[in-house]
């Protein structure tokens, strides 16, 4: 889940950045869903109209994936046609498969792509990211729905819905709001990273008036209303905290997902939750806090240490300050992050090396999240002390966002200037130390007077082999001598079938992993605790300071 989360957020910052672009051509996406009458009986007709294209023969026209992780069969498309100023466009690729659509001739002028996407829930994937029918509704990330033009140009986008076939009360919704919407100029790829849903829904609040709204077409095994009311209150509070004059749209779409219940996928101004039997709505609060923070603070050019670092820093801090979680819940969140970081054997990886290893090793992938969050805590402590309590890191984050929203190009050098103005040379020094991989350690009182730092013993997260060297061809390499993996029987040369080293495993010290391999022709599986040597880890505990002085 986290993997997808990170993927789709790469473009989240573009939404805010789009507002400053020059007037751009208007591309139109028309969506006409059928009635959704059964889990395999529905379709969506899509028409994408793009003005002013000029694409040479053989060059990519559109991209529309047909596969998502764990889908048993590709998403078909039927009735595909593309026309341009010269009439029907002869497609070479595009009728099937994931390859970019290409034509045997130059394509120019207004280009119109039409196609139908039949929906069958049996094509369900693990993460909630394919087309799916729930009740009398469908939902999907734009990635599987909208053919994205590859011209490289920026477009304003009109999203138009024709839900007349879906019956009375039907509505079309995206992360950009309800019904027909027009979004400012920006790269068309952002349509891939927001949720689309159409049909008849239960909603919370029942009437969306901009801002927050949650929707579900099916019947979750729990009542989503309390969690969604919680989320809506937090969204409003965060809008004010981040000084938004208008609460931006945010849509949470709940879908059934028998393959991977409880998983969430963050999209632009939207969030998809897959529910199943046994889904714990409480467990979704941190991730909702995290993903909504991105709506305001994502500044993609600064890098993951910024966007993920401040999202983890704020994911429990803001719900706590808003009075929406208890002090104990907040402290548990702080300690979860600290535990993962201090028990991470890759914690000295320089930030500049993270991107290269991001998908290969969960330990490296979480560096910008965990180290980034602790870095913001360190900065906050420094700023609070230097200002005698008058200022905090919130002021600096808000400054950067205001400048970004105002259209300014934001660079790391500008962040260093802001730090220098606030803290003198100590500010940039703290930043450079974090970026270079030096240990990031908040002072005992950096989370406020109600918490103090303590040292505990914990075992480092140790998968038992080299995740990175194994990533490309799934052949186990670098087995760690004396590791739990070795003791369980895993060997170099085993071929991985499944090795579910999810990101959440790193802070869950009791969680065992089952690695499935083949050795020769023989299928084998090894279950072990992915933990290595004992080390000191920093945690925080509650002081005797009364609750009223905490937040």
Nearest residue to Zn ion by CB is 311
* Angstrom distance (rounded) from CA 119 to CA 98: 17
Nearer to Zn ion, 13 or 232 (CB): 13
SS3 444: coil
Q: Rule CB under 5 A: is residue 354 a binding residue for Zn ion?
A: no
Total residues at the site for Zn ion (CB under 5 A)? 2
User: What's the half-sphere exposure (Cβ side, CA atoms, 13 Å) at 320?
Assistant: 22
Nearer to Zn ion, 82 or 265 (CB): 265
Backbone angle region of 481, left / alpha / beta, with phi > 0 → left and psi within -120 to 50 → alpha: beta
Nearer to Zn ion, 308 or 494 (CB): 308
Q: Which stretch binds Zn ion (CB under 5 A): 124-132, 150-158, 193-201, 302-310?
A: 302-310
Nearer to Zn ion, 91 or 266 (CB): 266
Q: Rule CB under 5 A: is residue 192 a binding residue for Zn ion?
A: no
The residues near 274 (Cβ < 8 Å, ≥ 6 apart) are: 127, 128, 255, 256, 257, 259, 260, 261, 262, 263, 264, 265
* Angstrom distance (rounded) from CA 345 to CA 524: 28
Nearest distance from residue 282's CB to Zn ion, in Å?
A: 20
Q: What is the largest CA-CA distance in the chain?
A: 77
Nearer to Zn ion, 84 or 308 (CB): 308
Nearest distance from residue 351's CB to Zn ion, in Å?
A: 16
The interface with Zn ion within residues 418-457 (CB under 5 A) comprises none
- The distance from CA 77 to its chain's CA centroid, rounded to whole angstroms, is 27
Closest-CA residue to 151 (of 60, 46, 80): 60
Cβ contact 193:141 at 8 Å: yes
Nearest distance from residue 2's CB to Zn ion, in Å?
A: 8
Nearer to Zn ion, 178 or 308 (CB): 308
Q: Rule CB under 5 A: is residue 396 a binding residue for Zn ion?
A: no
Nearest distance from residue 249's CB to Zn ion, in Å?
A: 19
The interface with Zn ion within residues 33-62 (CB under 5 A) comprises none
Nearest distance from residue 312's CB to Zn ion, in Å?
A: 8
| Residue 154 main-chain phi, psi, to 5 deg | -90, 145
CA distance to 121, 133, 435, per residue, from 76 (Å): 13, 15, 45
Nearest distance from residue 375's CB to Zn ion, in Å?
A: 15
The interface with Zn ion within residues 305-324 (CB under 5 A) comprises 308, 311
Report DSSP state, residue 8.
H
Nearer to Zn ion, 311 or 325 (CB): 311
Nearer to Zn ion, 216 or 314 (CB): 314
SS3 6: helix
Cβ contact 214:228 at 8 Å: yes
The interface with Zn ion within residues 138-177 (CB under 5 A) comprises none
Report DSSP state, residue 475.
B
Nearest distance from residue 214's CB to Zn ion, in Å?
A: 20
Angle at 331 between CA 249 and CA 428, to 5 degrees: 75
Cβ contact 77:63 at 8 Å: no
Torsion of CA 12, 18, 20, 25, to 10 degrees: 170
Nearest distance from residue 6's CB to Zn ion, in Å?
A: 7
Nearest distance from residue 9's CB to Zn ion, in Å?
A: 5
Q: Rule CB under 5 A: is residue 292 a binding residue for Zn ion?
A: no
Nearest distance from residue 457's CB to Zn ion, in Å?
A: 30
Nearer to Zn ion, 31 or 334 (CB): 334
Nearer to Zn ion, 311 or 517 (CB): 311
Nearer to Zn ion, 272 or 311 (CB): 311
Q: Rule CB under 5 A: is residue 265 a binding residue for Zn ion?
A: no
* Angstrom distance (rounded) from CA 159 to CA 26: 10
Report DSSP state, residue 191.
G
Q: How many CB atoms lie within 10 A of CB 324?
A: 17
* Angstrom distance (rounded) from CA 438 to CA 347: 8
Nearer to Zn ion, 29 or 311 (CB): 311
Handedness of CA 472, 500, 313, 407 (dihedral sign): positive
- Residues paired with residue 44 on neighbouring β-strands, in sequence order: 33, 117
Nearest distance from residue 292's CB to Zn ion, in Å?
A: 10
Q: Which stretch binds Zn ion (CB under 5 A): 44-52, 118-126, 304-312, 496-504?
A: 304-312
Nearest distance from residue 48's CB to Zn ion, in Å?
A: 29
| Residues found near Zn ion in the complex (CB under 5 A) | 308, 311
């Amino acid at each position: 889940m986290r993997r997808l989360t990170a993927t789709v957020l790469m473009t989240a910052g573009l939404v805010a950045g789009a507002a400053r672009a020059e007037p751009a051509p208007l591309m139109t996406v028309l969506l006409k869903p059928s009635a959704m009458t059964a889990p395999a009986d529905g379709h969506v007709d899509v028409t994408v109209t793009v003005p002013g294209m000029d694409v040479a023969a053989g060059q990519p026209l559109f991209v529309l994936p047909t596969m998502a992780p764990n889908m048993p069969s590709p998403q078909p498309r039927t009735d595909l046609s593309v026309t341009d100023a010269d009439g029907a466009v002869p497609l070479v690729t595009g009728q099937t498969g994931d390859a970019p659509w290409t034509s045997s001739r130059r394509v120019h002028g207004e280009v119109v792509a039409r196609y139908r996407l039949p929906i069958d829930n049996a094509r369900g994937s693990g993460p909630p990211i394919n087309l799916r029918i729930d009740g009398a509704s469908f939902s999907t990330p734009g990635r599987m729905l909208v053919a994205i033009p590859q011209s490289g140009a920026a477009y304003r986008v009109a999203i138009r819905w024709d839900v007349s076939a879906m019956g009375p009360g039907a509505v079309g919704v995206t992360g950009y709001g309800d019904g027909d919407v027009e979004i400012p100029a920006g790269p068309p790829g952002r349509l891939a990273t927001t949720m689309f849903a159409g049909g008849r829904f239960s909603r919370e609040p029942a009437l969306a008036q901009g801002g927050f709204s949650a929707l579900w077409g099916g019947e979750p095994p729990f009542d989503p209303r309390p969690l969604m009311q919680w989320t809506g209150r937090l969204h409003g509070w965060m809008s004010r905290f981040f000084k938004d004059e208008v609460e931006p749209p945010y849509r949470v779409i709940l879908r059934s997902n028998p393959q991977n219940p409880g998983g969430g996928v963050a999209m632009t101004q939207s969030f998809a939750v897959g529910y199943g039997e046994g889904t714990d709505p409480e467990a979704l609060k941190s991730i909702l806090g995290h993903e909504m923070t991105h709506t305001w603070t994502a500044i993609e050019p600064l890098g993951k240490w910024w966007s993920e670092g401040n999202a983890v820093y704020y994911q429990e801090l803001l719900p706590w300050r808003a009075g929406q979680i208890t002090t104990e819940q907040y402290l548990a969140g702080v300690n979860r992050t600290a535990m993962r970081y201090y028990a991470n054997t890759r914690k000295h990886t320089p930030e500049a090396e993270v991107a290269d290893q991001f998908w290969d090793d969960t330990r490296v992938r979480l560096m910008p999240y965990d180290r980034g969050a602790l870095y913001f805590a360190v900065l906050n402590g420094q700023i609070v002390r230097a200002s005698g309590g008058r200022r905090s890191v919130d002021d600096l984050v808000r400054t950067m966002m205001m400048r970004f929203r105002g259209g300014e190009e934001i660079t790391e050098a500008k962040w260093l200037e802001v730090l220098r103005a606030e803290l003198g040379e100590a500010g940039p020094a703290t930043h450079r130390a974090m970026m270079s991989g030096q240990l990031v350690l908040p002072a005992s009182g950096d989370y406020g007077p109600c918490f103090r730092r303590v040292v505990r013993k914990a075992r480092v997260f140790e998968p038992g082999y080299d995740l990175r060297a194994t990533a490309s061809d799934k052949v186990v390499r670098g087995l760690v001598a004396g590791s739990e993996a070795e003791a369980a029987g895993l060997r170099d040369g085993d071929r991985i079938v499944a090795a579910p080293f999810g990101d959440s495993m790193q802070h869950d010290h009791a969680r065992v992993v089952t690695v499935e391999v083949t050795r020769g022709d023989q299928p084998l599986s090894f279950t072990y605790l992915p933990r290595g040597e004992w080390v000191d880890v920093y945690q925080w505990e509650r002081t005797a300071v009364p609750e009223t002085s905490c937040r």
